[in-house]
Structure 1
Amino acid sequence: MARVRLTDVARAAGVSMKTVSNVVHDYPHVSAETRQRVQQAIDQLGYRPNLSARRLATGRTGMIALAIPEIDHPYFSEVSRRIAEEAARRGYRVLIEQTLSDTDAEHAVLRDREEGLVDGVIFHPVSMGAVEIGRLHKDTPLVLLGEAAIPLTTDHVMIDNVAAARQSVEHLLAMGRRRIAFLGTVDGDVTVSTRHRLLGYQEALSSADIDADPRLVLRVAGFSPEDSAEAVRTALADGLEFDAILCRDDKFAVGAMAELHAAGRDIPNEVALIGWDDTALATYTHPSLTSVAPDKQLLARVALELLIERMEGHIGVGRHRIVPHSLALRASAPPLA
């Protein structure tokens, strides 16, 4: 089937090619009646703009790159979907790139960015520091997500992980829990988010005049639910006493929950449990999982707004935005009576 051309749409709508082009590029000086007629012709014929022609005409591709550590991590999957939805509402498409937190892969996000392939980049770094990003970031507009690096020259969107962890522990303390474990620190982990969450955990204990017990910071071999289950299994076998667990993400909470069930521990009566990220997993566990809930929709919206402003010529020092979070209270650490 032959490709539908601009001239075919113009003929079907009874207008000039210039008018069709104005409608495609959403120029405001087209009457509503003409715009509707052209749009009907576009829909009927299945016309799709030629991206190469658009690039030549506007200097833009209509494409945004999103670089994340793991495509299959529930949090990043959900954030990616919201960014793609927000981008589509603004007329952009999203290319997703996985870095697996590898330093070379993260360097490539900035160093090997092909000029003209995308109009901007949203990037969640893990291994790279602020100075590295500042050195490698050149002309392509960039917005960062997460806590790993906050360069003065680059826009950045995150939640307050310290405050979120503190709020979670305060809720557990209000439930009467005093032996609260943190799950956990991962061997070889280079993420800043774990350190921030551990800091908030310790701050809440200190404010309650509870001495932090290093044994309650559980070490985990890896990032899978199986690894977190093994850490809880080891703690139970060692006779470690705890009546609550704050987990670094929902995947860890799922593993912990499975092991607590296997050990015959009642959730939440014997051990209360809080996850992190409020992913879809949280509503399908038994019992349902209380979880720190970043406002993912707002995070995506703010990141896109900052990026589009950069793409449209905004110049200045990096703008740093903290989006709100909440504690999604469910059965594993329920609301206070």
Structure 2
Amino acid sequence: MGQVTLQDVAEHAGVSMKTVSNVVRGYRHVSDAMRTRVQQSIDALGYRPNVSGRSLATGRTNMLAFAFPDLRRPYFAELAHVFSRVCADRGYQLLLEETAGAPGGELSAVRGREAGVVDGVVIHPQVLTPTEIDSARGDTAVVFLGEDVRPPGSDLVAIDNVLAASEAVAHLAALGRRRIGFLGHEVGEQSRTSAFRLEGYRDGLTAAGLPFDASLCVAREVGDARGAEHAFGQALDAGLSIDGLLCRDDLAAVGALRAMRLRGLEAPRDIAVVGWDAIGLAASLVPSLTSVAPDTVALAEAALDRLQERIAGRPGEGRAVTVGHRILVGESAPYPDGSVD
């Protein structure tokens, strides 16, 4: 057989060419049964869409971009994996763009459509303002992740960082912890993520009837596990006395646990520790890490729902979508009865 065509797939599946096209493009209105039927024919015949030809005919590439600060951070690496799977399920290819949290990298990402490379971009911005993003993106369909920095009329998908941090503090307070610290925000100007998580930390203290003490909040100069270990170790050596700790992210928690171990302290005996992101490594630590777990699948699904609507040109005001989270309880801060998830 020569090159397999769209018509070949349609005849094999007993459906119209438009239905096959809709499946290939990942349109959501195709039923699961029909999608499976067409996909079986695609697999059986070995059909491969002609992306360049389709791009010329439709002005679309069927490729999306996911732009994020740093692939070395486990959370973003794992989130990129989730996005890749969800995109594949919808018939899209995914281009990963590491912005390094720098203006140039973020500008390049939101300008992707101008180069004819991608149909739309999901971005987790770190430094660009809404005005800068709006002026740079042209007609690129963009959906934002994280804190609300979207230009007017744009879409945002995020978890509620303030609520999640407050719930994490409540979990520690339920264990009887009364001197609860925070670890991992930036030295000097704070990122938007850190600011919201610190706000939730303070809300949680207030709800638990505990005072806020700025001396219990430990910043780190370098945003990785070593930076957290160094900062927390110095604080402990200087006399920091806490019995509970909420960390900005799991890397900060990893650093905290190491700093504690080197000083003869254990979690949860001496300090109950809660991380953030529920990275794969968290469950393999000793002790296993209690962590705020964002629903990354729901986040990716919601972001791509909005992006596909924008690509299709559907009108509507931009909106913020909040996805769920949970406290995944491990040994570092178990339930009051000592059990874990």
TM-score (norm 1): 0.88
Which residue of 1 is the match for residue 26 of structure 2?
Answer: none
Are 2:242 and 1:246 aligned?
no
Other-structure match for 1:137? 137
Secondary structure in structure 2 of the residue aligned to 1:241: coil
Distance 1:51-1:209 versus aligned 2 partners, 3 A rule: same
- The answer for the alignment partner of 2:156 in structure 1 is 156
* CA positional deviation for 1:152: 2.4
CA RMSD between the two structures: 2.8
Q: How does 1:1-337 map to 2 (within 5 A)?
A: 5-6=3-4, 10=8, 22=18, 24-26=20-22, 40=41, 43=43, 46-111=46-111, 113-147=113-147, 149-187=149-187, 190-337=190-337
Question: Percent identity over the alignment?
Answer: 40
Query: Deviations along 1:57-112, whole A, 9 cap, x unmatched?
Result: 33321111111111121111111111111111111110000001001211222245
Task: Give distance in 2, aligned partners of 1:247 and 1:311.
Answer: 38
> Aligned partners of 1:316 and 1:113: how far apart in 2?
21
**SS of residue paired to 1:212:** coil
Counterparts of 1:37 and 1:271 in 2: how far apart (Å)? Answer: 55
Report if aligned partners of 1:134, 1:153 keep a CA contact under 8 Å in 2.
no
Q: For the structure 1 residues 308 and 265, does the alpha-carbon distance in structure 2 shift closer, same or farther, using more than 3 Å as the test?
A: same
Deviations, residues 170-210 of structure 1 (Å, cap 9, x unaligned):
11111111111100222255520100010111112123332
What code does the residue aligned with 1:72 have? R
Give the distance between the partners of 1:223 and 1:4, measured in 2 at CA: 54
Give the partner amino acid of 2:320. H
**Helix, strand or coil at the partner of 2:101:** coil
Q: Which runs of 5+ in 1 are unaligned?
A: none
SS in 1 for 2:114: coil
Aligned length: 327
Q: 1:48 to 1:241 in 2, by over 3 A?
A: same
CA distance in structure 2 between the aligned counterparts of 1:43 and 1:160, rounded to whole angstroms: 41
Partner secondary structure for residue 331 of structure 1: coil
Larger Rg: 1
Q: CA deviation at 1:15?
A: 6.2
The runs of 5 or more residues in structure 2 that have no matched partner are: 24-28
Moved more, 126-135 or 252-261: 126-135
**Deviation of 1:319 (Å):** 1.2
Are the structure 2 counterparts of residues 141 and 194 from structure 1 closer, same or farther at C-alpha, using a change threshold of 3 Å? same
Query: Greater shift after overlay, 238-247 or 145-154?
Result: 145-154
What's the TM-score once normalised by structure 2's chain length? 0.87
Deviates more, 1:77-86 or 1:246-255: 77-86
Superimposed CA distance per residue, residues 232-268 of structure 1 (whole angstroms, 9 cap, x where no aligned partner): 1101110111111100000110111111111111210
Question: Post-superposition shift, 1:5?
Answer: 2.3
Distance 1:87 1:210, change over 3 A: same
Distance 1:225 1:88 in 2: 32
The superposition leaves residues 92-136 of structure 1 with CA deviations (integer Å, 9 ceiling, x where unpaired) of: 110000001001211222245434321111111010122222222
Supply the distance in 2 between the matched residues of 1:271 and 1:70 (Cα, whole angstroms): 30
CA distance in 2, matches of 1:51, 1:290: 44
Change (3 A) 1:6 1:269: same
For residues 23-77 of structure 1, what are the alpha-carbon distances to aligned partners after superposition, in whole Å with 9 as ceiling and x for unaligned?
A: 6524799xx99x979965x546644222111112333211111111111211111
Q: Whole-Å Cα distance in 2 between the matches of residues 206 and 313 of structure 1?
A: 45
Aligned residue identity for 1:103 = P
Name whichever of 215-224 and 114-123 sits farther off: 114-123
Q: Secondary structure at the match of 1:273?
A: strand
Q: After the TM superposition, which of the residue ranges 180-189 and 298-307 deviates more from structure 2?
A: 180-189
CA distance in 1, matches of 2:336, 2:77: 32
Tell me the amino acid that sits aligned with residue 89 of structure 1.
D
